[in-house]
Amino acid sequence: MKNVFSGIFLVLILIITSSPTYAATTQIKIDGVTIVSDVNPESKSNRTMVPLRVISENLGANVKWSDSQVTLTKNDMKVILKLNSNKVVKNGKAELLDVKPYMKNNRTFVPMRFIAETFGSNVNYKNGTVTVDTKPLVIDGVIVKALQYEYHMTLGGVVQQITGNGYNEAIYNNFIKNNGSQVEAPTYLTWDIHRIPVVEAWDYEKSAQYDFLDQSGNSIKQFDIYYSIQSEPADVLVHEVTGNVWYLYSDSARLSTLLLIDRASMNGFVTVISNTVP
């Protein structure tokens, strides 16, 4: 009887250890911030598998789905993955993955190290924690430490700092890639139209300013967003304060930046510096 129980125990151990996927207690830190996810990372074939959202949001990669194929892009890198396939295409060249991307509980899991290193990040594992350090944003040869974002409301204003490299790079690219034609500076401007009597002369209101800071907290490049208070839909302008140049801008690009900030906040990359809103 003892041998029978020993045999059953051995079979159970083999089943558990040979299971292709199992939940892990791995913690993921990106740029020093612990990433909170509604789905835990998993280990498969000794590889840490993470939900695709961790990659797309926190490493600054864009995601596009087509059937069971997902395309990740960031700057000059393009990666094409297919569910349940170990074939991956990087900038047109085919490679083989150690483990296949898969779907579980309506979440797509991808190999963390492969994706992170492909997009130029360093990955280390120690004591149950995967640490990912992404490349910092560099503007005019200067490393960006944080993005300072300020906006005003009817009463008071809010100043926040964003430290995630992936988010800051995506926001910066939003300004660079979406600038339209260069225009003359508007005649009448105000930071907050709600603080003064509304007069027809004030035709543009500043909705927010974005200041990319160096390691000492000095401004490298600042962009201010203005919109017309007399048009529907609102005309949007961007003022590159550093070079004192004005460009046409799009409201969709403005909203895209706000969405990036919202995601950065949910993932723990935003710190409130001041808030004077009652």
Segments making up each domain of the chain, as ranges: 21-133, 139-275
Q: What is the CATH number of domain 21-133?
A: 3.30.457.10
For residue 216 the two structure tokens come to: 């000492």
For residue 201 the two structure tokens come to 């002369």
> Nearest to residue 207, comparing CAs of 188, 223, 226, 231?
226
- pLDDT in the model for residue 12: 45
Contact 34, 40 (CB under 8 A): no
Cβ contact 84:101 at 8 Å: yes
Q: What percent of the chain has pLDDT over 90?
A: 59
Residue position matching structure tokens 């840490």: 48
Residues in CB range of 117: below 8 A, 6 or more apart: 123
Give me 25's structure tokens: 């207690």
**Residues 39-47: contacts with CB under 8 Å, at least 24 apart:** 39/105, 39/107, 41/112, 41/130, 42/104, 42/109, 44/20, 44/99, 44/109, 45/20, 45/98, 45/99, 47/98, 47/99, 47/111, 47/112, 47/113, 47/114
Question: What are the counts of helices (DSSP H) followed by strands (DSSP E) for the chain?
Answer: 5, 25
- pLDDT confidence bin for 193, thresholds 50/70/90: very low
Distance (Å, whole) CA 231 – CA 254: 16
Q: Give the integer Cα–Cα distance in Å for 150 and 166.
A: 19
Q: Give SS3 for 173.
A: helix
| 14/130: higher pLDDT | 130
d(CA 109, CA 65): 14
The token pair that represents 69 in the structure block? 């194929």
Runs of H (alpha helix) within the chain: 2-18, 52-58, 112-118, 165-178, 251-266
Is residue 154's pLDDT more than 90?
Answer: no
pLDDT in tens, 224-270: 999 886 666 668 999 999 999 999 998 889 999 999 999 999 999 99
- Pairing of the two strands 157-162 and 270-275: antiparallel
pLDDT beyond 60 at 81: yes
For residue 213, pLDDT over 60 is answered with yes
Predicted confidence (pLDDT) per residue in 156-189, tens digit: 889 999 999 999 999 999 999 999 999 998 877 7
